[in-house]
Amino acid sequence: MPNFTVRVVDSLAAVSPDKWDVLTADNPTLKHAWLQSMIDAGCTTAATGWLAQFVLLERDVAGTTELAGAVPLYMKAHSYGEYVFDWAWADAYQRAGLDYYPKLLCSIPFTPCTGSRLLAANQQDRELLLAATIQIAKQSDVSSLHILFPAEDEQALIASHGLLARQAVQFHWRNDNYRNFEDFLSRMSHDKRKRIKQERRRVTGAGVTLRRVSGPNLTSADWDLFYLCYQSTYQAHRSTPYLNRQFFALIGERMCKNVLMVIAEKDGAPIAASLNLVNKTTLFGRYWGATEFVSGLHFETCYYQTIEYCIENGLTLFEGGAQGEHKLARGFVPVKCVSAHLIKDARFASAVTDFLRRESNGIERYVDELNEHQPYKTTDATSELASDTG
């Protein structure tokens, strides 16, 4: 095996974006620009409880050091912005007089999208990366290591190293070679199809028009609007946004080809916007907000416009993210995903194992219940279409 080294860095500023990005399988949530922009904008720093500890696997090739692999790793001082909830674990640690934080988190900040967490071109290097990351966790003054939403082809490898698997549910939309949005609707059950048509009519009836704008065509005013809307979502929940205006300015400059914004306007004035990331096959729904309430506008801006975009551009998958059974009625289906956890204290590892066993049973029942309410047809198509007065 050629010589290799492993090192940890708290920034990607000195790492070639091209050499990093070639490891990401074109997943925009993993790109150098996405991760480094969060650091440069001050969103992921020690002060915010997200200290980057990126693991780099480097190999000497003909006298040149080449990046062979990487892990997006963070030292966390809390559990905010993760979408896999371990507050009960932290509370149990505290009640036992132990510190749960800091912990190590292998994830994309504020982003519950699935994707590779062991960025490498081959299985051998993934093995090296995982072993190195586990070793770093064991040698560091942390309670645990958590790997969130890894790609399916990494899960068996991670489990083989003894990490505990935790199941979760996301909602994805898949393009079944739909010709257009009407074709998509025709595959849905009568009640779901009727609801979607009614929701879309409410939006247009309120005088709202929508436009989809790709990143290179976005103006500073568009980004200002989006950030105002993004802030409003957090204000409605009496919370503080994780990301700032500078971050969105940076991704607008650095990865505009991966950005799609949907803007809603009423009486010529913008009132809502959603931000999505795209590549050649997948759309990742990310953030949204509105300055004015219009019935059905959230669904139109975040789901129906982006589903239309996927159909028109031949994208095969729309990751709608975690939470929200309301997505089921709009064409999304439940998809099980996993996270993996290394708890260093043996007593708590045993307790977490029992907890995950019980939780897993609940997840299975939850998915079964969701599948009983699938949005697509289960009866004769002709009779359903004949009864559709929506």
Task: Give the C-alpha separation, 251 to 259, whole Å.
Answer: 8
On whether the CB atoms of residues 104 and 145 are closer than 8 A, the answer is yes
pLDDT tens digits for 97-124?
999 999 999 999 999 999 999 999 999 9
What is the C-alpha R_g of the chain?
22
Q: What is the mean pLDDT of residues 332-356?
A: 94
Check: pTM over 0.75? Answer yes or no: yes
Q: How many H-runs (helices) and E-runs (strands) does the chain carry?
A: 13, 15
On whether the CB atoms of residues 273 and 229 are closer than 8 A, the answer is yes
- Pairing state of beta strands 282-290 and 317-322? parallel
Q: Residues 169, 175, 178, CA angle at the centre, nearest 5°?
A: 145
Q: Tokens at residue 67, please? A: 């990046």
Quick one: pLDDT at residue 380? 42
Whether pLDDT at 385 is above 60:
no
Q: Residues 141, 147, 149, CA angle at the centre, nearest 5°?
A: 160
pLDDT tens digits for 15-73?
999 999 999 999 999 999 999 999 999 999 999 999 999 999 999 887 788 999 999 99
Task: Give the C-alpha separation, 309 to 180, whole Å.
Answer: 10
pLDDT tens digits for 186-227?
999 999 999 999 999 999 999 999 999 999 999 999 999 999
Phi-psi region for residue 382, left (φ > 0), alpha (ψ -120 to 50) or beta? Answer: alpha
Compute the mean pLDDT over every residue in the chain, rounded to the nearest whole number: 92
Whether pLDDT at 147 is above 60:
yes
Task: Give the C-alpha separation, 232 to 238, whole Å.
Answer: 9
Place 328 in a pLDDT band, splitting at 50, 70 and 90.
confident
Helix axes 123-139, 152-160, angle to 10 degrees: 50
